[in-house]
Structures are given as structure tokens and as C-alpha cells.
Amino acid sequence: MGLELGDVDPSEFRGGEATVKCPAVAPGARVTFDRRELKRIFNLYVRKVASGEWRDYAIDFHRDRAVFSVFRSAAEVPIYRIEKNPRLARRQGVYRVVSATGLIVQGGHELDRVLRVFDKTALSLVAN
């Protein structure tokens, strides 16, 4: 578990120095994907791996968002990020798909609708 921005490494404290109080991070303070969301994301991931489009993934849980990153190979930057950000719930929607360039490909309030963007891209590639 690494340090976040604003966290203080306990090994940096020296005798006689004033300590900086950082808010404690409760175990439930991080945004996570629930079981239903992970099941839907992994169903998509398995289909894309079987078709040879995706090869690896990473899941990151931050204080403000949860991110499922998809890679073509382990040495690359993610080609897509599926993000859950509750702070955007009233505006753009909790979920969004972001490309490697940072372009928001799809956003919305329902995960199933947001993930349909991957079905559309596959169909458009076959049709051309």
C-alpha cells in the first residue's frame, strides 16, 4: 500500500519536530466496484481476451474513483480505462470509458449502457 498525496511517511518523523495531522483513511473510504459491476466488467473482458483484442488488466481503487484499466500487452499504457467516479453522479454519470489519449469515449449513469460502446466498436469494425 503506497502513500497518497498529502500522506506523511512515519519514517520521516524526527524527534522534536511537530507532527502534521493527516485525516485517517477508513477502510471504506475508497471507491470500489461492487460484485455486480465487476461481474459485468469481467464478462466483457473475457469476451475481448477471447477475441484477441485485450491481454491484461489492472484495477485501482482511489479515494475519489475506481479504475479498471485494459491493456493490449503488459508493457503498454492502458488502451481503455473504465472509471467509477461517484462525484460525477449528478452531472455526467458515475461511469465512463476513457481512451488512452484521455478522450471520454462514453459516460453515463448505468454501467451496462456505458460498456455497450465496446460492442458498437466491434460491430463497426466488422461492417467496414
Domain annotation covers residue 106? yes
How, if at all, do strands 66-71 and 80-84 pair? antiparallel
Residue 105 lies in a domain: yes
Question: What does the pLDDT profile of the chain (128 residues) look like in tens digits?
Answer: 455 554 544 444 344 444 333 344 455 578 999 999 999 999 999 999 999 999 999 999 999 999 999 998 777 789 999 999 999 888 888 999 999 999 999 999 999 999 999 986 554 444 44
End-to-end CA distance of the chain: 46
Distance, CA of 75 to CA of 70 (rounded, Å): 12
pTM (two decimals): 0.70
Q: What is the DSSP letter of 21?
A: P
- Structural domain of 61: 30-127
Q: Flag whether 42 is in a domain.
A: yes
